[in-house]
């Protein structure tokens, strides 16, 4: 089975709501963390920083490593690294056509959201975002 390693940024606002971006493609419609695939020779932290610049045109600082989980999604094993981060430069805005919305969500909104990515479902079931 194919395995992909990814990194994502947990960005919280002053109310401890988490920033998600909405992927809207023919293949997928889902809310997900900003982040992405680790490229060859790249460490997970660098992926997180690079992906946030590419997707949201912001510079971030990684505050701490949160966790890493492996799970299966559509016949692929995903290994996802989560980092609590803060924006140090810029204002988050969508930079890629595959995304059509950006929004902060409370834990209750996440639990009720039927359009979460598999990664976000794993994150919500394993980590209390409000306690980060």
Q: Render 42-108 in DSSP notation, one character per residue.
A: --HHHHHHHHHHHHH--EEEEEEEEEEEEEEETTEEEEEEEEEEEEEES-----STTEEEEEEE-HH
User: Higher model confidence: residue 110 or residue 130?
Assistant: 110
pLDDT digits (tens, 9 = 90+) for 81-119: 999 999 999 999 999 999 999 999 999 999 999 999 999
pLDDT digits (tens, 9 = 90+) for 26-76: 999 999 999 999 999 999 999 999 999 999 999 999 999 999 999 999 899
Q: Which residue has the tokens 């929004």?
A: 103
């Amino acid at each position: 089975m194919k395995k992909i390693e990814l990194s994502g940024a947990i960005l919280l606002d002053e109310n401890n709501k988490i920033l998600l971006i909405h992927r809207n493609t023919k293949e997928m419609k889902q809310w997900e963390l900003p982040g992405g695939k680790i490229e060859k020779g790249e460490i997970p932290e660098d992926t997180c920083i690079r992906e946030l610049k590419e997707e949201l045109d912001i510079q971030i600082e990684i505050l701490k490593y949160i966790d890493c989980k492996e799970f299966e999604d559509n016949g692929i094993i995903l290994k996802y690294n989560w980092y609590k981060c803060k924006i140090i430069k810029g204002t988050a805005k969508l930079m890629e056509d595959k995304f059509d919305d950006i929004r902060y969500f409370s834990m209750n909104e996440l639990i009720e959201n039927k359009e979460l990515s598999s990664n976000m479902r794993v994150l919500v079931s394993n980590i209390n975002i409000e306690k980060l």
